[in-house]
Structure 1
Amino acid sequence: MKYHQIAPSVDIPKIGLGTWGMGGKQIEDRRWDEEHVMAIKMAIDLGLTHIDTAEYYGAGHCEELVGEAIQFYPRDSIFLTTKVWRTHLHYEDLIKSMRGSLRRLGQDYVDLFLVHWPNYRVPLEETMGALEECVREGYTRYIGVSNYSANLLNEAQSLLEDNSLVANQVEFSLLEQKPRTNLLPYMQETERTLIAYSPLGRGILPGLDREVLSSIAEKYDKTKAQVALNWVISHENVIAVPKSSNPIHLMEFMDSLGWEMNLEDMMMLSSSFI
């Protein structure tokens, strides 16, 4: 397993598990609960111990499934991330959401608490103040954001008194390379982590008939999904949280680690998908 330092003395896997769609999308769906709990447990057993969820997923039911799965493991063996939805960014609303997430997860704290999306109708200072209160209360070890631009992230950080925003979770893949222009350089310069969601291009890349991707996969004796995922995590300060409840795909994620493409192939992939 390859690790990344997300905070001082805190190393987490370069690849974790995203959980969007588990337990439903915008509304709760319990039809596949057993399958989803088993998938989360299998991911952890394989070493994908960073579990990413959110109060929005399945209207909170996803957090319940994550909580059910991780109860079987020592708490310090899991790095748990959840997110507060953009309609809950006023001070009291955010604190209430944090407590609700902890209740559904069955935990006393999470490792990382993110603002899921910006909300320009809520003063940023108010939201940042609430995040710091969550740290003071012991509800979360670290705080961060999601879907923030470099400028907005910099502004948010300037409003914090005692904490750093350690991560920004954004969509990043061969099909979505915008973060490479401004955001990723900023994250690297300020020693923050970019957490890539949808690193497989929302599931499109594994089945995409693109000669460059296919030939590089053949060259390294890997699948197209493994090449695409390896391309993402090969960037400095980047980790990824692909989502799957399929055991075969989870094992495939693991084989995205432990090897490297040469610079020429990395550049060829990058330019072929712009």
Structure 2
Amino acid sequence: MQNVKIAGRTVPVIGIGTWHMGDRPAQRETEIAAIQAGIAAGARVIDTAEMYGSGRAENLVGEALQPYHREDLFLISKVLPENASRQRMAASLEASLQRLRTDYLDLYLYHWRGSVPLAETVAELQRLQQTGKIRAWGVSNFDIADLKELWQLPGGDQAAANEDLYHLGSRGLDYAVLPWQAEHDLPLIAYSPIAQGDSWGQHLATNATVKQIAVAHQATVYQVLLAWVIRQPQVLAIPQTSSVAHMEQNLAAGELRLSTQELAALDQQFPRPTQKERLDII
């Protein structure tokens, strides 16, 4: 599988997303099995957040990761905007750590911007990093103006990643955000990289070109969509699934390389933006 370097660690380019997991008690064992299947297939990054199910996803992840050596995994969680202050972030982090049954996070992300001044959030993230409870910090749902503002703050250029929505049907990042991040050596974590199972509305999975490429590689259409997202360096995709079979297919997509001609054909179907677009957030 291809790799990406994030926060000083080299990890496989396909990780495990956990949004919507932990919400249905009847699915708990199935979801735990899916996460563990992903790790068995080579995943090392597990991405979650205190927002997901109001902590239920973190609880599920904490249980799923018990059989493994903690240092072998790369665990990401996120702080809500209302908790991203000097007064509240430490307690929020501690609650996440308890739910996850760990004493540190590899990466702690500011989930999206709120009313707390960005400088205050960054200063508190840096302070928490010094305690060892987080190994690195970053941001999420940041657009180009947010990133430029971040880089002007004391310590802002110590951010280890930005996590944004990115898939073949949502290419706004290609115009300014991804080039800027490449220039500043800031990895992208792509959430919803297969458009939430094609609920986004562009009919990616039924597109004739996508299907043709999938047939040529003896792959699924979702594997093609994932291969497109990780086609360039320093992009980590975190698809979410509660199915063991789909999880294994997701991880196998890390081996799939699309040709120049195939990428050009996808560009024709889903063109690169020629001007700034609104940042897509879900």
TM-score when normalising by structure 2: 0.91
Aligned partners of 1:163 and 1:171: how far apart in 2? 21
2:239 matches 1:245: no
Q: Secondary structure at the match of 1:126?
A: helix
Identity %: 35
What runs of 5+ residues in structure 2 fail to find an aligned partner? 272-282
Question: Which digits, 9 at most, give the CA deviation of each residue in 1:55-102, with x for residues without a partner?
Answer: 001110110111111121111110000001122122121121111111
Aligned amino acid, residue 269 of structure 2 = S
Matches within 5 A, 1:158-169: 158-161=152-155, 164-169=158-163
1:43 equivalent to 2:9? Answer: no
2:40 partner letter: D
Deviations along 1:120-179, whole A, 9 cap, x unmatched? x21111111111111011111010000001221222233233861110000100111111
1:53 aligns with 2:52: no
- Aligned: 1:200 with 2:188: no
Corresponding letter in the other structure for 2:213: I
Partner of 2:274: none
Question: Structure 2 CA distance, aligned partners of 1:112 and 1:2?
Answer: 20
8 Å CA contact 2:150, 2:156 repeated in 1: no
- Indicate if the aligned counterparts of 1:200 and 1:206 stay in contact, CA closer than 8 A: no
Larger RCO, structures 1/2 (Cα 8 Å, 6+ apart): 2
Distance in 1 between residues matched to 2:182 and 2:233, nearest whole Å = 7
Question: 1:207 deviation in Å?
Answer: 7.2
Equivalences, count: 268
**Alpha-carbon distance in 2 for matches of 1:190, 1:271:** 29
Residues of 1 paired with 2:240 and 2:156: CA distance? Answer: 33
Structure 1's unaligned 5+ residue stretches are: none
Q: Is 2:260 aligned against 1:256?
A: no
2 CA distance for matches of 1:193 and 1:270? 22
SS at match of 2:10: strand
Which residue is equivalent to 1:230?
227
Instruction: Output aligned runs, 1:142-221, within 5 Å.
Output: 142-161=136-155, 164-204=158-198, 208-221=205-218
Inter-partner Cα distance in structure 1 for 2:164 and 2:171: 11
Which structure shows the higher strand fraction? 1
Hey, what's the Cα distance between the residues in 2 that align with 1:206 and 1:34? 31
Computed over aligned residues only, the root mean square deviation of the Cα atoms, in angstroms, reads: 1.6
Given the alignment of the two structures, is residue 114 of structure 1 paired with residue 113 of structure 2, yes or no? no
Match of residue 99 from structure 1: 94
Instruction: Give me the whole-angstrom Cα distance separating, in 2, the residues matched to 1:207 and 1:248.
Output: 20
Tell me if the contact between 1:214 and 1:224 (Cα under 8 Å) persists in the aligned partners.
yes
Moved more, 152-161 or 64-73: 152-161
Name the aligned partner's letter for residue 5 of structure 1. K
**Contact 2:187/2:236 (<8 A) preserved:** yes
